[in-house]
Amino acid sequence: MDRERQIADDRARTDLAVSVAAAALGAARGEVIGNGRSHRVVLARQVAMYLLHVGCSLSLGRVSAAFGRDRATIAYAVRAMELRRDEPAFDAWLQALEDAMVRTPVMS
């Protein structure tokens, strides 16, 4: 895949992940992609980052570029979501979001 196509694909997947996470948590899309600091927005952002990394198999570097954040921030978010997967209800909820991401066709 050429670089321009990859960037467009990453952008489309990021839009989808942010939309899914924002809708699931009742957060504003703009705050999730931006710098919102409320618990709901931070959780939505971390979920979106996790969905991109795990559900879409994007590298930490690519997720970092998509969100305009440091790679360590993405690693922290992924780790935080993995730790919460020990909670059965959270695990089922996150798995449902991940399944939705995988089944949704992305047009870039």
Is the whole model's pTM more than 0.75, yes or no? yes
More confident residue, 104 or 97: 97
Contacts (Cβ under 8 Å, ≥6 apart) of 93:
24
Q: What is the pLDDT of residue 108?
A: 64
User: Given pLDDT bands bounded at 50, 70 and 90, which one contains residue 1?
Assistant: low
State yes or no: pLDDT of 105 exceeds 90.
Answer: no
| CATH numeric code, 3-102 | 1.10.1750.10
- Reported as half-sphere exposure (CB side, CA atoms, 13 A), residue 63 has a value of 27
Give the start-to-end residue ranges of the domains of the chain. Answer: 3-102
- Tens-place pLDDT, residues 5-22: 999 999 999 999 999 999
- Tens-place pLDDT, residues 35-85: 999 999 999 999 999 999 999 999 999 999 999 999 999 999 999 999 999
